[in-house]
Amino acid sequence: MNVPIEYFVLLSMALFSIGLFGILTRRNALMFLMSVEIMVNAANINLIAFALYHGNLTGQVFALFVMALAAAEVAIGLGIILVLYRNFRDVDVTVPTTMRW
């Protein structure tokens, strides 16, 4: 069951690109949040894969931390989406465009 490292990396990149694809094509803020989660987890796969590759546990522990941070991020993100909805009656990210020049 010795899978070469390249495949882990490719998997993580594929996940990352899927998340990115979601961000680039979707307009719903909730979908954005999910896409970001996918990208975070793509990074996690990399961390864990390379921990195994080097026989070192640091990457594994970091993956745990990243999960915790992702949870925090989701909490904030949901809060932002709530406020967004309250202000604009919509969760379409293309609607609020006032934070530019």
Partner 1 sequence: MEGLFDYAPAIALFPLAAFVIALAFGPKLPKKGAIPGIVATAGSLALSLAMVAAVVGGEEGYYHTTLFTWAAGDAAGEVGEGIEFTFGILIDPLAALMLVIVSLIAFLVHVFSLEYMNAEGETGLPRYYAGLGLFTFSMLAFVYADNLLMAFMFFELVGLCSFLLIGFWFRTRSAPSAAKKAFLVTRFGDYFFLIGVVAIAATFGTLQFAGDDSFVAAAEAAIDDGGQLFGFDAETWVTITGLLVLGGVIGKSAQFPLHTWLPDAMEGPTTVSALIHAATMVAAGVYLIARMFGYYALSPTALAIIAFVGGFTALFAATMGVVKDDIKQVLAYSTISQYGYMMLGLGVGGYVAGVFHLMNHAFFKALLFLGAGAVIILMHHEQDMWKMGGLKNKAPVTYYTFLAGALALAGIIPFSGFWSKDEILYDALIVGTEEPLIMAAYAMGLLAVFFTGFYTFRMVFLTFHGKPRSDVAEDPHPVGWAVKFPLIALGVLAVIAGVANLAPVAKLTGLEIEFLNEWLSGGAEGANYAAYTDALAAVYDTGFIGTESTTVLIAAGLSLLLAFSGAGLAWKLYNVPEPVAHKERLGSVRETIESNYYQDEYQVWLAEGLTLPLARAADRFDQTVIDGTVNGVSSVSLFGSDRIKRIQTGIVTNYAALIVTGFIALVIVLGVLGGWFL
Partner 2 sequence: MTNGPQLRLGESLLPGILAVALFGVMAMIVLNTGFADEMVGFPEGISVTSEIGYALFDFTALQSTEGSIGNTEPFLISFLLIAVVLDAALDAALVLAKRETEGEPIAALSSVSTGDSAGAQPAATDGGAENGTSRSSGGEQR
User: Which residues are near partner 2 by CB under 8 A?
Assistant: 2, 4-6, 9-10, 13-14, 16-18, 20-21, 24-28, 30-31, 52-58, 60-61, 64-65, 68-69, 71-73, 75-76, 78-80, 82-83, 85-92, 95-96, 98
CA dihedral for 79, 81, 84, 90, sign (positive or negative)? negative
Residue 6 found at the interface with partner 1 (CB under 8 A): no
Least Å from the CB of residue 18 to partner 1: 13
Q: Using CB atoms within 10 A of its CB, is residue 72 exposed (0-12), middle (13-18) or buried (19+)?
A: exposed
* Residue 99 interacts with which of partner 2, partner 1, none, CB < 5 to 8 Å by class: partner 1
Which one, of 99, 100, 95, 70, lies nearest residue 84 by Cα? Answer: 95
